[in-house]
Amino acid sequence: MSTPLLQVRELSVIARNGPREITLVERLSFDLGQGEILGLVGESGSGKTLACRALMRLLPSPNLRIEGKSVHLAGHDLLQLDEAGMRRLRGRELGMIFQNPSSHLDPLMRIGEQIAEGIRLHQGASRREARAEAIEVLRQVGIPDPKARVDNYPHEFSGGMRQRAMIAVALGCNPKVLIADEPTTALDVTVQAQILRLLLELRDRRGLSMILISHDLGVVAQTCDSIAVMYAGRLCEHGAKHQLLAHPRHPYSAGLLACHPAAQRQVRLMTTIAGQPPLLDALPPGCRFEPRCAQALPLCREQLPELRESGPGHRLACHTPLLAAGLS
């Protein structure tokens, strides 16, 4: 097998709260192959976005710190780089599309300038060269009349066009890995489909690898090759998309699928997962999903299950996994 493009080993994010420390993301490990799209799913607060911000080394608070064995990308261990090293790598090797373009596009800078800024920084291009490249990137992400729109400000774009502009900013330096954090949130269904189709086209055209953060399994089913399910800061199941969607083995994964509107239409019944995720500063001693799990055993209450291989290309952290064809 070829070497993965991105290798994450036991990545953790820890928060200091006075004298206490709380682990918000715990020992996250996964590989991302060339051209692969990995869907990172889970309820709000499960640690999806925080984990990816840790990959970028862009944590939102000084009270947070990163620990882990290694995060290898493009011949570098991101956990060992100083801030100057990370600045050289961000954008050029690893890019991110943030959830709300209005919060991450500078309202006082023209769209073209925001794209060209990274091109000049990382590629040493002249202003004229960077502007020409910015126009080309806007064309690639489907902005109409890019030669004119390159001089527009963010407020002159619609919501869908702002999201495309955000993608253009992230793609300006041609990164190898792109993190997309809920890229279709707050967009109508038609525009959502356009953005998802654009991401797939960019993957095919540029050979991009992507991490797609989403709580919508319908979006993940349309776009991703593999799925990693997070719960309360930990990875609980990880496998190929077709396998995980058809035969989820973790009760939480099965619960998420049952809650999807398409599944509810089939059974004509509104389905939910009973209870609430645990507070990360008051975790149960055993499995974190145990208080909400209908098939929990006494062992689940006492011992935290480790993430282990449970079949070809499939990993699971559960004492009482659901049965699936071809897996033991």
Token match 């809920």: residue? 182
Reported as a pLDDT band with limits 50, 70 and 90, residue 19 is confident
Q: Which residues of 25-49 are buried (b: 16+ CB within 10 A; e: fewer)?
A: bbbbbbbbbeebbbbbbbbebbbbb
Instruction: Answer for the pair 210, 37: CB distance below 8 angstroms, yes or no.
Output: yes
Tell me the sheet residues that pair with 234. Answer: 231
Query: How big, in percent rounded to 5, are the helix, strand and coil portions of the chain?
Result: 35, 25, 40
The per-residue pLDDT for 266 is 52
Whole-model pTM: value is: 0.91
Superfamily of domain covering 6-93+175-316: P-loop containing nucleotide triphosphate hydrolases (3.40.50.300)
Q: Is residue 260 over pLDDT 80?
A: no
Mean pLDDT of all residues belonging to the chain:
90
Helices 159-171 & 127-140 angle (0-180, nearest 10):
130
Q: What is the pLDDT of residues 124-143, one digit of tens each?
A: 899 999 999 999 999 999 99
| C-alpha separations of 146 from 120, 139, 216 in Å | 19, 6, 31
Domain range list for the chain: 6-93+175-316
The per-residue pLDDT for 270 is 56
The per-residue pLDDT for 325 is 44
The per-residue pLDDT for 278 is 93
Q: How many helices (H) and strands (E) does the chain have?
A: 13, 13
Q: What is the pLDDT of residues 195-232, one digit of tens each?
A: 899 999 989 988 999 999 998 888 899 899 999 999 99
The per-residue pLDDT for 67 is 96
Selection from 47, 72, 71 nearest residue 59 by Cα? 47
Decide which of 213 and 325 is more confident.
213
The per-residue pLDDT for 265 is 52
Q: What is the pLDDT of residues 274-316, one digit of tens each?
A: 889 999 999 999 999 999 999 999 999 999 999 999 989 999 9
- Report d(CA 39, CA 316) in Å as an integer: 16
